[in-house]
């Protein structure tokens, strides 16, 4: 009887001590002290190190749970130099394509025990630099990046590639840096979009494209040009406009195109956002789509099938790209030693024909 009472007193006393000292955070040392074993044993048990005997492991796990132990990832990361965290940096999360990519990344990452931290640059170079610096300082294990439209220098990204921290680009990639890349076949996307317009009888096809320092827009333009050439159609410089592809840019672009001597009878837009603003502008000015002007966009944003007329576009498999990017990155993280030569994965693009280019 008495000894039991003593034990109880002892237990509550240590508990009070623990609470006083740590402000509520139990550490492996607290567990070790309570069980009269070494902290290293606790650490090993909690990390499922097979060297620990089954009974001790059970006991430690039980005690840890009772004491409300929560591992301090910060301390562990500090010690091991591995954070189990991967950074995702992209221009804008509020785009269906990008958030699909994120979902793909997350699916793979979570099932592999990695956390994901997402940041958006808003296509602002300074913000992109700062975010990537922060991510580096936070010692993410790897980075998945789609660069901004303004980005023309890459020192902030070389920080990662130089230090051999795994880096994977997707969509808007940096050609100058040796790293894995996941892209869609933008060239072919541009080609089939333009060819489709030609097949529907268009001859004066304009192109609203993005900045040419970004590879995807260069490729989409090349596809457009080759399709035009193949059909023997001339390429009129007045029919080519390059901007940042915002809603406003689209409106300005169509205004400008309509001022041309020769008006376009079709437009291949490098994204759905500009396709949308073009359609809205034309609708407001009584120009019929697709009867007077046919339109094809790019990316298959959800709104493209909802607007009237619905927008013909090029599908990009965002979710799959995200999954692939995460798989590649995590592979690299896990087998850091053998730096396998970097690869570029090209995913297929697909034309979706809707009303804006004359689906019957």
Q: Least distance (Å) from DNA to the CB of residue 36?
A: 7
- Alpha carbons 290 and 167: distance in angstroms, whole number: 43
At 31, list the tokens: 């567990």
118 binds DNA per the rule CB under 7 A: no
CB 182 within 8 A of CB 321: yes
Kindly state the number of chain residues that form the binding site for DNA, as judged by CB under 7 A. 28
Binding pattern to DNA, positions 11-30, x when CB under 7 A?
-----------x--x-xxx-
151 interacts with DNA by CB under 7 A: no
Between 39 and 353, CB nearer to DNA:
39
Is the CB of 75 or the CB of 235 nearer to DNA? Answer: 75
Residues 72-91 that bind DNA (CB under 7 A): 72, 75-76, 78-80
Binding flag, residue 259, DNA (CB under 7 A): no
338 binds DNA per the rule CB under 7 A: no
Tell the smallest beta-carbon distance from residue 61 to a second copy (Å): 16
Residue 30-59 contact track with DNA, rule CB under 7 A, x = bound: ------xxxxxx-xx-xx---xxx-xxx--
What backbone phi and psi angles, to 5 degrees, belong to 11?
Answer: -60, -50
Query: 158 or 225, CB closer to a second copy?
Result: 158
**Quick check: 297 and 271 in contact, CB under 8 A?**
yes
Q: Which residues bind a second copy (CB under 8 A)?
A: 24, 70-75, 77-78, 83, 85, 93-94, 96, 99-100, 102-103, 106, 110, 115-120, 122, 127, 130-131, 133-134, 136-139, 163, 276, 302-303, 306-308
Spatial separation of the C-alpha atoms in residues 42 and 161, rounded to whole Å:
37
Q: Among residues 55 and 232, whose Cβ is nearest to DNA?
A: 55
* Sign of the dihedral through C-alpha 234, 239, 242, 248: negative
**Residue span binding DNA (CB under 7 A) among the ranges 69-77, 177-185, 203-211, 286-294:** 69-77
Positive or negative, the Cα torsion across 302, 303, 305, 310? negative
d(C-alpha 330, C-alpha 336), whole Å: 10
* DSSP character string of 258-285: HHSSSPPSEEEESSHHHHHHHHHHHHHT
* CB neighbour burial string for 199-230, b if at least 16 within 10 angstroms, e if fewer: ebebebbbbbbbbeebbbbbbbbebbbbbbee
Residue ranges binding DNA (CB under 7 A): 22, 25, 27-29, 36-41, 43-44, 46-47, 51-53, 55-57, 71-72, 75-76, 78-80
């Amino acid at each position: 009887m008495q000894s039991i009472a003593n034990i109880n007193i002892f237990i509550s006393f240590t508990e009070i001590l623990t609470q006083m000292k740590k402000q509520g955070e139990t550490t492996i040392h607290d567990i070790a002290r309570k069980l009269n074993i070494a902290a290293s044993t606790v650490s090993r048990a909690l990390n499922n190190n097979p060297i620990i005997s089954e009974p001790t492991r059970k006991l430690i796990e039980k005690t840890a749970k009772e004491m409300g132990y929560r591992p301090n990832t910060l301390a562990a990361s500090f010690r091991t130099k591995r954070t189990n965290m991967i950074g995702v940096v992209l221009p804008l999360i509020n785009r269906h394509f990008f958030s699909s990519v994120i979902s793909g990344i997350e699916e793979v990452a979570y099932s592999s025990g990695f956390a994901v931290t997402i940041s958006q640059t808003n296509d602002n170079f300074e913000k992109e630099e700062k975010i990537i610096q922060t991510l580096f300082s936070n010692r993410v294990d790897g980075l998945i990046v789609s660069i901004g439209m303004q980005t023309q220098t890459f020192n902030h990204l070389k920080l990662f590639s130089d230090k051999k921290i795994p880096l994977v680009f997707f969509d808007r990639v940096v050609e100058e840096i040796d790293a894995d890349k996941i892209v869609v076949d933008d060239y072919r996307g541009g080609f089939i979009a333009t060819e489709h317009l030609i097949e529907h009888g268009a001859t004066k096809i304009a192109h609203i494209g993005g900045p040419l320092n970004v590879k995807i827009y260069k490729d989409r333009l090349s596809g457009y040009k080759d399709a035009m050439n193949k059909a023997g159609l001339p390429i009129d410089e007045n029919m080519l406009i390059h901007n940042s592809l915002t809603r406003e840019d689209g409106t300005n672009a169509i205004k400008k195109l309509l001022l041309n001597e020769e008006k376009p009878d079709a437009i291949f837009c490098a994204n759905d956002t500009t396709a949308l603003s073009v359609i809205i502008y034309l609708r407001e000015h009584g120009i019929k789509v697709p009867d007077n002007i046919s339109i094809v966009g790019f990316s298959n944003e959800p709104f493209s099938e909802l607007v009237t007329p619905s927008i013909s576009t090029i599908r990009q498999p965002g979710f799959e790209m995200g999954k692939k990017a995460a798989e590649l990155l995590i592979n690299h993280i896990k087998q850091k030693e053998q730096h396998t030569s970097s690869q570029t994965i090209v995913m297929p693009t697909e034309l979706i024909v809707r009303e804006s280019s004359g689906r019957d």
